Structure 1
Amino acid sequence: MTDSLINPQDSIERQNEKLRIIAGALMQRVEQSVDAAGAAYAQFQRAALLEEEVRARTRDLERALDLLNESNARLAIANRETEAARSNLANAIETVQEGFALFNAADELVMCNSRFGMHMPDIRNQLQPGLGFAEYVRIVSSSGNLSLPECETPQIWAAQRLDRHKDASVIFNVRMSRDRWVQVSEHRTPDGGTVILQTDVTDIMRMERQERDRILDDQALLIRATLEHLRQGVCIFDQLGRLVGWNRRVGELLSIPIGRFTIGSSFETIYDQFRSEISLADDLADGEIEDWVRGTRRSGSLSFEIEHRSNRALAVFMQEMPDRGFVISFTDVTPERTAIRAISEANEMLELRVMERTLDLEDALAEAERANASKSRFVAAASHDLLQPLSAAKLYVASLDGEALDPQSHHSATMAASALQSVENILSALLDISKLDSGQANLHLSTVSLDRLLSQLRDELAPTAAAKGLDLRVLRTGADVQSDATYLRRILQNLMSNAIRYTNQGRVLVGARRLRNAVRVEVWDTGPGIAEEEQDLIFGEFQRLNATASAADGMGLGLAIVERACALLSHPLQLRSQVGRGTVFSVELPLAPRDRPQSATEMTTPESWPGDLQHRIVLLIENDKELRNALTLTMENWGLDVLPCQSEAEAQALLTDIDMAPDVIIADYQLDEGKSGLDAVTSIIQAFGPAPACIISANRSIELDLQCQERGLPLLLKPIDTDRLQRFLSGGDP
């Protein structure tokens, strides 16, 4: 009701007047009503509430009107400020000396000043707000005032310009007609728009051109002066093969008057002036040079040598330049070539002399090798021939132990046994050194148990150490090493026996230190020590620091064998010593791979029998009479019954006659008529049944050792060690 009676467009005073009239009419109606008093009062209440609502609406309308008036006032102020700012911006960019244009994020032209496109009046009227950037680039590319290179079309230029527009910041120069230049700077705005500045840089470009021309002139003068000071002759040609520079030296080297060199002369013209006076070296064809100059076969550079008729050798180097021109340099190498020829002639003479001397040396070397081989054969043969009677002598002397001798005879027998042992040691050492020096030593690498080897050496050397009152200690180790069992035993035996020999009191300690992939065996003693200046001498042959020692104490060959054997096996050998405090020898051995087969030192005898030797039948096959008799006498003194035979045939016949199988077989390896003790043992076992057997020999080759291992036969080397022989006969490990 109220919404239809009051017009919001009326003024506040008009609306209040209408409301007062309405309120009066309502009050009059209430007073004139014939209804009950309660209904009249209700009508009055509704009229009062309506009046309060009308007043609240009136206040809201007044506040809204005030806000609207205030907003209109602020908007008017903002419009005035915007127009002022736009006017100021337009005035500002108009005052800029460069051409200015602003594109929005949609690449549409927003505004530009009058200088934008000032060098292109034919398109200036097309640069209006709303113009797209791509259309702007097309219009510029089609302008007649844009000066493009001969090889570049408006379409290519437009495509390149649009590609540059992708970058956030671009600066480049554009050449215009009438030799004018405009620098274009294009930058991206934070909201994705683009600002373009066009600056006339014609004056700067002309100054740079003038400066560049001046610099080029100065450089030309500098290059000219430089060329004149070169020892090489130089010619410079442009990309068309025309002469543009040279120096006087080139005329001197080619014997051409300098006046014949003129700017613009072709290469062919210059070349024809000296072509007939030179000869090409290095198998270079005449046509290859011209092909290179024309560019048909040019590949960077070309170098060769020429011989001038004036006996001058020239090195020629032709190098291509970046502009497709090329430079030719001529270098006089006559002294070098003369020197090379002289050196070549001297070398030929020297080669002849060296060849003659080489032939002489070869003859001397062959003679030395023959002598060395002869010495080695002699040592081997002599050692073998001496070991036979030596073994017999030792056995004869050993047989005297069971005899009732007077003290003087017993002493003489003991001294004889000691002397024979010394002879055996010397012969064995000489034989080992001969093999090591001649390169005939054969190696058999296998897994060797250090515990087993060191325990054997301890048992062997303990009596000698005890006789001197020394404490010999060998520490246990669970290491297995990779080495040659025979040579490793000899190395450690020599080191331990040397330590005992030269230590008068105290102890000798042998142990092994674990390394990453190796074991270092160390032999410590408390002897007198070795002076530093003598430490290199002790590894020589027949070198003994104690000059008063007897031959029974060794001839100074032990360490010589140790050094050679360690070098052969590639086992590093070290020595540390202090005078008065003792010496340490150490040998580094590689650890053996796991799961390897048993080595030679770990082989067991094929069969054992009771240790009682009484009346055991031993078949002895030995072709040397004296050694056969000595062995027979020795074993009979032990209570054995010996059947001595010279050959396999004699042994077969004897066993057949007595119709009895032997308990033990001992056979020499090398029998008469080329027969082998290995074959003899095999034949007898096949004919008369199995029996423990061993081979005796002076042959120390690895081949024999391997053959005995394959057949499971122990090998006793001559001179025969009676202790080892007795251990074998008792069923133990020899």
Structure 2
Amino acid sequence: MPEPEPLSLINPNDSLERQNEKLQKIADALMKRVEYGPEHSNAAYAQFERAALLEKRVRERTLELERTLDLLHESNAQLGQANQETEAARRNLADAIETVSEGFALFDPSDLLVMCNSRFCRDFRDTTRDLRPGLPFTGYVDRVSRSRYLALPPDVTAESWAAQRIRRHVDRHVMFNVQLAQGRWLQVSEHRTANGGTVVLQTDVTDLIRLERAERERLKDKQSRVIRATLDHLNQGVCIFDENGRLVGWNRKMASLLELPARRLQLGASFNGLVDHLDEEIVFTRGIDRDGFRQWAAKADNRGPISFEIKRGDRAILQVFGRGMPDRGFVISVTDVTPEREAAQKLFELNEILEQRVMERTLELEDALNAAERANASKSRFVAAASHDLLQPLSAAKLYVSSLADRCADANDRSVLNKAESALSSAEQIIDALLDISKLDGDGVQFDIRPVALREILRPLVDEMEVLALRKGLSLHYVDSDLMVESDPSYLRRIVQNLLANAIRYTERGKVLVGVRRNGGSARIEVWDTGPGIAEEDQNTIFEEFKRLDTRASRNEGLGLGLAIVERACARLGHPMGLWSEPGRGSCFMVNVTIAGQAERQAQPGRRAARPVGLAQAGLIALLVENDPQLRRAVSIMLESWDVSVIEAEDAPSALELLDDLQISPDALLLDYQLGDGPTGIALYKSITEFLGPLPCAIVSADRSPNLRQDCKTLGVEFLPKPLDRHKLSRFLDEVAANMG
């Protein structure tokens, strides 16, 4: 709430003299009242004090007014000086812009004219009287657009020119040329100021435009001579027409190709007239006819390229090519293609002869290829069938020998049996190698490419091969690796296994080393040995089937199929293979596999001792289903020697009938995959589990295809390949017995 104004006995609007006069009268009256009023002496004294206080306030107010007047006089003096300086600066600015050799004008942020020099719009003399401060920018443009000194193009009106000028005014920087009467030119440029105003400059560029035009004409004349020389130098006939179809340029080659008289090829000759006067011997053979050619030339816009052929006389063939130009004219070129067409015709005839020969040869090759494919397919089927038939009795023989060796007490007899088993194992290895080569040579092989840890492949292989190395007195070293690679685990294991087996077989003394090196984005598996080495000229021969450079280099038997399998498997998997060898020092076989990552470090597994046979399996009941009588009997004898009770069956129906009659649930199932014409071992396993529930099962088969392995993995059953390995079978039964316990 505002404070109330103090009471005053005088009017503050009065002059100081009038206020003093009133205060004097008040003071006199108060003095008289004090002197002549004894009854009210106290009140008179109070009035006196009030009068004295008022007089003091009057003095203070008077001093304040005096100070205010002084400040006002000082401010007026400063304002006058500022006005003088501003006017001086304005005069200086006006003088400065007047000295500019160009027309100058300044518009404020509201687009109102602030000032301009005398050269501004001097070339538009009929507008200078309207150029006053405060003129809007639109008014300035309107007056210039209607000036009689402005030379506008024929198709541009004053209103459209002014509208375009206003549209360009919104840009921050504008520059353009304006044509004036009497062939003069003015360059106009606009620039924005920091506060949003506009500076307009007008510069006379008539001399520059005239020089540019003179230089352009000179260049045109020079270009015309260059173009004429170029056209005459071309090996093609060329003629150029303007937008009206009039001839403006040509060369002598055109007249000779079309056999036109010189009087026809003249400057300004019409296109249609030239087409009409073409010799009747000229025939349009490919592309368009004469009318189509005329219609193309008559188009004003969108004249695309055109190409066709004409024939002059009996032999000459000319190719005509036409294209529009930016100025709506067009150019025509004519090329003599007679030699090319004749050569093309000869090539066509020759090509037909060659195609006929190629067709005949292709048919012969197709017949030969079909015969080769049939032979290869027949060979693969024969190898697969023969291998299967061989593996059945071979498995039975191995099992009989193993069972006999377990019961034989005489050392000499046991040695003979061990040699027989070794011979059977060698035969088994040869059959496996033949099967592998047959698969790798065919197109049906499928790979299970996935990330695999190298130590999961190399560590078990080294453990298995160390026994063979120790028998020969060799030291086998392994450098562990935690890398993971992209490969098929089973085939990669077979590759390294063959390389290690070869290194041990052909090394008489020293050591064998297997390890992994990083090689960019791949891991290079290396197998080193201190064997006899391989000469450079023989390094390709060792990868052929049944090739061994020196049979005396090894005391072991073998037919030289290991490296053949390695080479084929590496090629199919896309693993580059390398070899370094020096006679007398040793060899190194290398396989490069793409790195997939790094495996987690795990403690190295300890060496597992061979499991005792005939203890853990005691008391088990196993169902054996095998259609081959000899193999079935051999497996039964071996299982019974391990104290395993065996229930034998020949096929699926008899096995199901036997289980139904006995009314027992076996502890383990050993099922052959191929059971004659009846259901397979997998189908039998499914039937058994329907009424007995899941049971430990092992599928035994000579079929080692990835599909069968995947089916076994999906069902959760063991896969045991033929010939049946007694150690793998023993481990399977051990696990069954352990789970029962």
Structure of higher RCO (CA pairs closer than 8 Å, 6+ residues apart): 1
Q: Does the 8 Å contact 1:278/1:308 carry over to 2?
A: yes
Q: Does the 8 Å contact 1:148/1:175 carry over to 2?
A: yes
Task: Measure the CA separation in 1 of the matches of 2:121 and 2:459.
Answer: 108
Q: Does the 8 Å contact 1:376/1:434 carry over to 2?
A: yes
Task: Measure the CA separation in 1 of the matches of 2:400 and 2:100.
Answer: 131
Counterpart of 1:220 (choices 218, 221, 224) is 224
Unpaired runs of at least 5, structure 2: 1-13, 18-58, 600-612
Match of 2:564 in 1: 560
The CA deviation at 1:270 is 1.3
Matches within 5 A, 1:25-40: none
Change in Cα spacing, 1:105 to 1:446, as seen in structure 2 (3 Å) is closer
Match of 2:420 in 1: 416
Q: Output the amino acid matched with 1:235.
A: C
Show CA shifts across 1:670-716 (max 9, x none). Answer: 44555655667778899999987655443333444455556665444
Matches within 5 A, 1:390-469: 390-401=394-405, 402-403=407-408, 405=410, 407=412, 411-443=415-447, 457=461, 460-469=464-473
Match of 1:597 in 2: none
Change in Cα spacing, 1:472 to 1:109, as seen in structure 2 (3 Å) is closer
Question: Is residue 148 of structure 2 the alignment partner of residue 144 of structure 1?
Answer: yes
Task: Measure the CA separation in 2 of the matches of 1:116 and 1:711.
Answer: 100
Give me the identity figure in percent.
47
Task: Measure the CA separation in 2 of the matches of 1:214 and 1:658.
Answer: 119
The CA deviation at 1:251 is 1.5
Q: Output the amino acid matched with 1:157.
A: W
Change in Cα spacing, 1:708 to 1:541, as seen in structure 2 (3 Å) is same
Change in Cα spacing, 1:428 to 1:171, as seen in structure 2 (3 Å) is closer
Change in Cα spacing, 1:529 to 1:114, as seen in structure 2 (3 Å) is same
Show CA shifts across 1:29-54 (max 9, x none). Answer: xxxxxxxxxxxxxxxxxxxxxxxx9x
Is the radius of gyration larger for structure 1 or structure 2?
1
Matches within 5 A, 1:668-707: 668-671=672-675, 676=680, 694-706=698-710
The CA deviation at 1:291 is 3.2
Match of 1:580 in 2: 585
Change in Cα spacing, 1:682 to 1:156, as seen in structure 2 (3 Å) is closer
Change in Cα spacing, 1:718 to 1:5, as seen in structure 2 (3 Å) is closer
Counterpart of 1:528 (choices 514, 518, 531) is 531
Match of 1:369 in 2: 373
Change in Cα spacing, 1:236 to 1:405, as seen in structure 2 (3 Å) is same
Change in Cα spacing, 1:544 to 1:185, as seen in structure 2 (3 Å) is same
Change in Cα spacing, 1:136 to 1:549, as seen in structure 2 (3 Å) is closer
The CA deviation at 1:359 is 0.8
Q: Output the amino acid matched with 1:465.
A: A
Higher mean displacement: 348-357 or 333-342: 333-342
Q: Does the 8 Å contact 2:625/2:652 carry over to 1?
A: no
Match of 2:330 in 1: 326
Change in Cα spacing, 1:367 to 1:108, as seen in structure 2 (3 Å) is closer
Task: Measure the CA separation in 2 of the matches of 1:166 and 1:643.
Answer: 103
Q: Output the amino acid matched with 1:467.
A: R
Task: Measure the CA separation in 2 of the matches of 1:197 and 1:447.
Answer: 76
Q: For residue 259 of structure 1, give the secondary structure of its aligned residue in structure 2.
A: coil
Q: Does the 8 Å contact 2:702/2:723 carry over to 1?
A: yes
Q: Output the amino acid matched with 1:721.
A: D
Matches within 5 A, 1:36-115: none
The CA deviation at 1:474 is 6.2
Q: Does the 8 Å contact 2:483/2:598 carry over to 1?
A: no
The CA deviation at 1:422 is 1.9
Higher mean displacement: 222-231 or 653-662: 653-662
Q: For residue 248 of structure 2, give the secondary structure of its aligned residue in structure 1.
A: strand
Task: Measure the CA separation in 1 of the matches of 2:264 and 2:697.
Answer: 107
Match of 1:16 in 2: none
The CA deviation at 1:120 is 5.4
Q: Does the 8 Å contact 2:449/2:487 carry over to 1?
A: yes
Task: Measure the CA separation in 2 of the matches of 1:141 and 1:121.
Answer: 13
Question: Is residue 354 of structure 2 the alignment partner of residue 345 of structure 1?
Answer: no
Q: For residue 249 of structure 1, give the secondary structure of its aligned residue in structure 2.
A: helix
Q: Output the amino acid matched with 1:717.
A: P
The CA deviation at 1:224 is 2.6
Q: Does the 8 Å contact 1:388/1:624 carry over to 2?
A: no
Counterpart of 1:360 (choices 351, 364, 371) is 364
Match of 1:271 in 2: 275
Q: For residue 350 of structure 2, give the secondary structure of its aligned residue in structure 1.
A: helix
Task: Measure the CA separation in 2 of the matches of 1:293 and 1:299.
Answer: 8
Counterpart of 1:308 (choices 307, 312, 322) is 312
Q: For residue 378 of structure 2, give the secondary structure of its aligned residue in structure 1.
A: helix
Change in Cα spacing, 1:319 to 1:468, as seen in structure 2 (3 Å) is same
Q: For residue 278 of structure 2, give the secondary structure of its aligned residue in structure 1.
A: helix
Change in Cα spacing, 1:455 to 1:391, as seen in structure 2 (3 Å) is same
Q: Output the amino acid matched with 2:263.
A: G
Task: Measure the CA separation in 2 of the matches of 1:649 and 1:244.
Answer: 101
Q: Output the amino acid matched with 1:301.
A: P
Change in Cα spacing, 1:445 to 1:119, as seen in structure 2 (3 Å) is closer
Higher mean displacement: 168-177 or 245-254: 168-177
Q: Does the 8 Å contact 1:529/1:583 carry over to 2?
A: no
Counterpart of 2:261 (choices 257, 261, 264) is 257
Q: For residue 386 of structure 2, give the secondary structure of its aligned residue in structure 1.
A: helix
Task: Measure the CA separation in 2 of the matches of 1:622 and 1:4.
Answer: 145
Show CA shifts across 1:34-80 (max 9, x none). Answer: xxxxxxxxxxxxxxxxxxx9xxx9xx9xxx9xx99xx99x99xx89x
Q: For residue 318 of structure 2, give the secondary structure of its aligned residue in structure 1.
A: strand
Unpaired runs of at least 5, structure 1: 7-52, 595-607
Q: Does the 8 Å contact 2:507/2:532 carry over to 1?
A: no
Change in Cα spacing, 1:637 to 1:169, as seen in structure 2 (3 Å) is closer
Match of 1:13 in 2: none
Task: Measure the CA separation in 2 of the matches of 1:562 and 1:269.
Answer: 81
Task: Measure the CA separation in 2 of the matches of 1:728 and 1:390.
Answer: 21
Number of equivalences: 686
TM-score normalized with structure 1 length: 0.71
The CA deviation at 1:550 is 5.7
Q: Output the amino acid matched with 2:408.
A: E
Task: Measure the CA separation in 2 of the matches of 1:191 and 1:480.
Answer: 70
Counterpart of 2:616 (choices 586, 611, 616) is 611
Task: Measure the CA separation in 2 of the matches of 1:438 and 1:296.
Answer: 67
Question: Is residue 267 of structure 2 the alignment partner of residue 240 of structure 1?
Answer: no
Q: Output the amino acid matched with 1:325.
A: G
Change in Cα spacing, 1:529 to 1:582, as seen in structure 2 (3 Å) is farther
Task: Measure the CA separation in 1 of the matches of 2:658 and 2:125.
Answer: 139
Q: For residue 293 of structure 1, give the secondary structure of its aligned residue in structure 2.
A: helix
Question: Is residue 302 of structure 2 the alignment partner of residue 294 of structure 1?
Answer: no
Task: Measure the CA separation in 2 of the matches of 1:658 and 1:201.
Answer: 121
Task: Measure the CA separation in 1 of the matches of 2:165 and 2:691.
Answer: 111
Q: Does the 8 Å contact 1:499/1:523 carry over to 2?
A: no
Show CA shifts across 1:455-497 (max 9, x none). Answer: 6545544432332234446678888887656545433432333
Task: Measure the CA separation in 2 of the matches of 1:245 and 1:168.
Answer: 46
Q: Output the amino acid matched with 2:531.
A: P
Change in Cα spacing, 1:312 to 1:455, as seen in structure 2 (3 Å) is same
Q: Output the amino acid matched with 1:464.
A: L
Change in Cα spacing, 1:155 to 1:552, as seen in structure 2 (3 Å) is same
Q: Does the 8 Å contact 2:247/2:268 carry over to 1?
A: yes
